[in-house]
Structure 1
């Protein structure tokens, strides 16, 4: 059964296949500032080496800060969505938003091209909302491009309501309840074993 886990070396082969799919889709070019694009430029074919991949996984397991390869200037938790040893996608929860992160929101996710259209994005986002609550985020700002109908459906299926700010620069903003209630802790609950 698919689940969110902390990044794990056991999905090495599947992760490499997913990155090949991302490359085939056009990710990794000099103007691509997506997570896949930044990672492909930073690691390229060096991921093939198990030791390099292990270092990458170790880095992804950390809460990212200003020196991350992904250029986060805020704390960020990265989780991978897997089914056994099959890498299906990744999800990032930014612990707070700066002006620069308002375009991307608290939660970003992507599903590998070969696994799209199967409900994985909805399941990932649903699983992430309680994790965001544990960080004191409520509601979570989640964004998508105006022309991304699939992402709009995912966000709305997870309770996202269009933000009053509406559309800006081709980006739709949604607020999704996380159910923080009275929780004030900032520690993430245990996710699937990696």
Structure 2
């Protein structure tokens, strides 16, 4: 049975296995991974997990020049299956990438985990007082578009981005909108 947890250094090896499965590239949205993060070493991984925790604190995020972001990992036992990020607050990054980003490792796809995680993170958005959230996905990412639509996403339109054309969806947060 999957669960969503806060990032933890305890799952270093499991996270690296998921990361290796994805292969190189910036397609692990939901993990907050930046090119400068040293996730291969134990100390670097601990520092990265600490940074993710700090980004969830509005005061610390503002001091670092960013909007707050809550990160959760989708895990089953000691296996990391994916990640999801809830960016709350206004920023140019949120306008470009959306309030929520997520990714499920290739071997765990097709099980409904992204839909499940998205539904769960909407509960956290509600707790933060968010009444609607923006999600953005590449035009050719049909699986992500279906996931967003499954949880109530309404297509605003398609726009051009530096990474190519993208769909913009809005979801009314259940219980607030």
Partner of 1:58: 50
Q: 2:133 & 2:16 partners in 1: Cα distance? A: 31
Aligned length: 169
Where do 5+ consecutive residues of structure 1 fail to align?
A: 183-194
Partner of 1:21: 21
Partner of 2:6: 6
The match for 1:84 among 60, 77, 86 is 77
Deviation at 1:38, TM superposition (A): 7.5
CA contact under 8 A between 2:30 and 2:85: conserved in structure 1?
no
CA contact under 8 A between 1:7 and 1:57: conserved in structure 2?
yes
Task: Provide Cα deviations, 1:142-185, integer angstroms capped at 9, x if missing partner.
Answer: 1111111000110011111112xx11111111111212439xxx
The match for 2:159 among 168, 171, 174 is 168
Partner of 1:190: none
The match for 2:124 among 111, 128, 131 is 131
Q: 2:144 & 2:43 partners in 1: Cα distance? A: 35
User: 4+ residue stretches of structure 1 with deviation over 4 A?
Assistant: 32-38
CA contact under 8 A between 1:136 and 1:180: conserved in structure 2?
no
Partner of 1:187: none
Distance 1:63 1:111, change over 3 A: same
Where do 5+ consecutive residues of structure 2 fail to align?
A: none
Q: 1:17 & 1:40 partners in 2: Cα distance? A: 18
CA contact under 8 A between 2:28 and 2:103: conserved in structure 1?
no
TM-score (norm 1): 0.76
TM-score (norm 2): 0.83
Q: 1:36 & 1:79 partners in 2: Cα distance? A: 8
Task: Provide Cα deviations, 1:18-64, integer angstroms capped at 9, x if missing partner.
Answer: 111222xx31xxxx486589836323xx5343333222222222235
The match for 2:172 among 150, 174, 177 is 177
CA contact under 8 A between 1:63 and 1:75: conserved in structure 2?
yes
Q: Superposition RMSD on alpha carbons, in Å?
A: 2.6
